[in-house]
Amino acid sequence: MQDIIQKLQSLGFSQYEAKAYVSLVRQGPTSAYQVSKESGIPRARIYEILNGLQEEGIVLKEEINDSIKYSPLPVDVFLESVQSKWNNTYQSISHTLKQFEKNEPMSDNRVMTLKGEGHILSFCRTLIQKAEKRVVVSLWDEMYGKLEQELIGAAAHCTLKGIAFQVENPLSGIDIHRQTSYVENIGENKWFILSIDGKETIYGPSPETRETAFYTDDPIHINFLENYIWHDILVNRLVKKDEEDAEKWISSERDRFFSL
């Protein structure tokens, strides 16, 4: 119950407005008193809330035999109205903000911190959709799954390259990283890299475990990160030629390199 109230609030309704509408949906036509009782809205506020919703067309008011009943706008109609309003608002905001946005290229290359899993994924999807020539990735299974549809779309007009961890049948152009004890025991240290056209890159830890990532358009960073991916691919391909002996040697060398 609280979840739907919060979601309605995110659409611009006050807490009492959201509670009143949900209460009416649950009860059907009823009195202000019953709405107050069922929703927990104070009786001193209930008429103000219901009359305000009536003016917005979200609640219907009907007088029956000297009594007043309130009804909710049918849910399908309500949702259509909200969606239409949201789309109009989105179009207006989008048009205005894009007019405000500076079109001149930045003189200084940047490294910026991104926060929040939703924002990180949205930034990644937008970046993939912007790609014109090439998309280079290093992705673990969860991140790959969340970006797969955008990668499929990009593959229709771009070259797709990179490596995927614990992913079965990745898209053409993306190597499957071999299964190793290091990969299987890496835990939450699943970093990703997404680079487009050698111009923009997002990288960071898996956003579902740590909601932080980094964006850069600095060519030095981008070159370093794309070369990191290529190095991973190269080692992966070389080891596959003589997997057992090479894997043991790589494992021991890694332990030796990172030992104190």
Domain that holds residue 43: 2-75
Name the token pair of 132. 């014109």
27 — pLDDT class (breaks 50, 70, 90): very high
Same domain flag for 71 and 123: no
Same domain flag for 9 and 134: no
Rounded mean pLDDT, 192-217: 90
Q: Please, are residues 143 and 125 in contact by the beta-carbon 8 Å criterion? A: no
Of all residues in the chain, what percent carry a pLDDT higher than 90? 51
Question: pLDDT digits over 32-91, tens only?
Answer: 999 999 999 999 999 999 999 988 888 988 887 778 899 998 898 888 888 888 888 888
Same domain flag for 147 and 201: yes
Looking up residue 159, the CATH number of its domain turns out to be 3.30.870.10
Question: pLDDT digits over 167-187, tens only?
Answer: 999 999 999 998 877 778 887
Question: pLDDT digits over 101-113, tens only?
Answer: 766 555 566 788 8
Last residue of a domain, one of 30, 56, 75: 75
Give the pairing of strands 212-216 and 200-205: antiparallel
- According to the model, what pLDDT value does residue 256 have? 75
Same domain flag for 146 and 245: yes
Give the pairing of strands 134-140 and 59-64: unpaired
Which amino acid, one-letter code, is at 154? Answer: A
> What's the alpha-carbon Rg for the chain, to the nearest Å?
27
- According to the model, what pLDDT value does residue 242 have? 67
258 — pLDDT class (breaks 50, 70, 90): low
